[in-house]
Structure 1
Amino acid sequence: MINDDSIKKRINESENHSNRLGRGLASLIGDSSKNMSIPDKAEAQTALDIIPIEYIQANTQNPRRVFHESELIDLSNSIKEKGILQPIIVRAIDGSQNTYEVVAGERRWRAAQIAKLDQIPVIIKTLSDVDALEIAIIENVQRSNLSPIEEATGYKNLIDTFSYTQDDLAKVIGKSRSYVANTLRLMNLPVKVIEYLSNGELTAGHARALLSTMNAEVLADLIVKKGLSVRQTENLVKSSINNQTDKLKVIDVSTHNKDDVEIRDLEKNITTELGFNVKINNNSNNSGKVVIKYLDLDQLDLIRKRLLGK
């Protein structure tokens, strides 16, 4: 059960200690002196309240797109036992009565729903759409365990929408400029690699190693399939060779499996003989498939002639 007096006392003590509320971005996302300030128009009226949880809706601009159920359940159990110790930040939605949008603290709001709370403590801020978006992005990239791609997307939004520089971002999140730059580069990876990153099958370390190769997608498949470490991935990238047809020859540095080497050699021989990029996918039971890549119907017709001799 939520104790209104104890929550308000906690918030008042926090405000008096750090003098945060009404003094820019630091009032919403933490005590760090490195936080950047919100424009004056966002320094608006602040109120602490307890409102029905059904009055609140998610922030559609939240950079966090994935909320892991197991983590939310753990948080909901903590909320059941101790309550919500830190109110979420919301703003009233224009033209709607008793409707609020989460600005910061969406995980707590979602976990509170799982805990079946009827009411939730909030700090109500009067914010424009732009200021609310800025706060939501920074609150997440600074305080939440985002996936590497969610983090990179948040950085890009701050740069594109609010004209942040990489140096600005580094100061806000307490990271080096090179960290920010490398994180942003992850968005240049192929779509399939980004999917692996988003669902946790690849880490940021794996992805950074793949940035230096044109064959990131092929290598990513192998890394996920074999569960390679970051160090093994770095060695794998170094040992990959591109030929004139952009075909990849992979020497599996993690296992040095003789059969795999023979398959790669066979791929190379068929590619050379046929004149088209050939990929052999061999399964553990020695079943598999042969893939021949072509760019248009003319190339397909040429492949037909070479295979059928017509």
Structure 2
Amino acid sequence: MNDTIKLIAINDISPNPFQPRQHFNPEELEELAQSIKQNGLIQPIIVRPSSIFGYELVAGERRLRATKMAGLSNILAVIKPMTDSESMRNAIIENLQRSDLNPIEEARSYKALIDKTKMTHEDIAVAMGKSRPYISNSLRLLNLPIQLQKALEVRQITQGHARLLLSLKETEKQILWLDEIKQKQLSVHQLEKLIKHKTKTSRKRNKSIYTIEQEERISQALGLSSKISYSKSGKGQLIIQFADDEEFHRLINKIL
């Protein structure tokens, strides 16, 4: 059966169960509805015959919604026979090619392609014209706790914030920093500086006063920064930092 294009009743179209987009901007839908009223639908939607009744939407959710808002009862559609797998792939890729999917919707779309069509990160990267690391980093956002995912969906934080928070591992810390970002309107750069400072301070607190004192004594004696660390077994190491060959030779002369 070949593709056909014709006017079909909107009421005969059921939603696409694989639709990745969850958020539609009401103002943008209203603008599109007004445009359709004035100029008609320029680009047809894509549907496939339904095994139950009428048709199932494949691509064009915004256009379908806006056409309903415009008060029209029929819509121009390309009727395209396809399998469930093909329908899902088309729906997801059509949405991914738009620039206004939020990062979590985008990540869920990639995950759906992997789960349902067995595409690899590399396959998706080629299909979307992205790099493989971009796809992998996008999918990592789904490891965030639900509070952070919601904040990312509604643009309270950016992907830059989210990637920094992913590095913290502990859910409680991630949520505490989310509150900080929202309360203080922290930029990604400010958040990075604060996390580094907090981590450094926390590490110092975990050291005994004796160890800190010995680090300071060694640093003063050698005129170089030093660091003492211990493993769980009790073994330790002393790290002495030097900036160039001159400092290195001065260190050697002091030790030997």
TM-score by length of 1: 0.60
Partner residue of 2:67?
Answer: 112
Q: Given the alignment, which residue of 44, 55, 58 partners 1:100?
A: 55
Secondary structure of 1:86 counterpart: coil
- Residue 64 of structure 1 corresponds to which residue in structure 2? 21
Aligned to 1:198: 153
Moved over 6 A (4+): none
Q: Which of the pair is proportionally richer in helix?
A: 2
Secondary structure in 1 matching 2:6: strand
For the 8 Å contact 1:159–1:165, the answer to whether it is kept is: yes
User: CA offsets per residue over residues 219-250 of structure 1, 9 Å max, x none?
Assistant: 11211222222222332332333859xxxxxx
Higher Cα radius of gyration: 2
The corresponding residue for 2:5 is 48
Instruction: Give the one of 61, 71, 91 matched to 1:136.
Output: 91
1:210–1:237 Cα contact (<8 Å) kept: no
1:186 matched to 2:141? The reply is: yes
Q: Which residue of 2 aligns with 1:170?
A: 125
Question: Could you tell me which residue of structure 1 aligns to residue 196 of structure 2?
Answer: 238
Deviations 1:163-202 (A, max 9, x none): 2111111111111212111101000011110111122212
2:111 pairs with one of 153, 156, 168:
156
Paired residue for 1:221, among 179, 185, 188?
A: 179
- State the alpha-carbon separation in 2 of the partners of residues 167 and 237 from structure 1: 33
Identity %: 45
Task: Provide, for residues 130-161 of structure 1, a one-character-per-residue CA deviation record: whole Å limited to 9, x for no partner.
Answer: 22112111111122521111100110111122
Structure 1 gaps of 5+ residues are: 1-43, 245-310
**CA distance in structure 1 between the partners assigned to 2:185 and 2:136 by the alignment:** 27
Q: When the two structures are superposed, what TM-score results if normalisation uses the length of structure 2?
A: 0.73
Read off the aligned partner of 1:187 and give its amino acid letter.
L
Q: For residues 71 and 89 of structure 2, what CA distance do their matches in structure 1 show?
A: 30
Give the distance between the partners of 1:219 and 1:143, measured in 2 at CA. 31
In structure 1, the residue corresponding to 2:57 is in which secondary structure?
strand
Counterpart amino acid of 2:49?
A: A
Partner of 1:127: 82
Deviations 1:267-294 (CA, angstroms, capped at 9, x unpaired): xxxxxxxxxxxxxxxxxxxxxxxxxxxx
Aligned length: 199
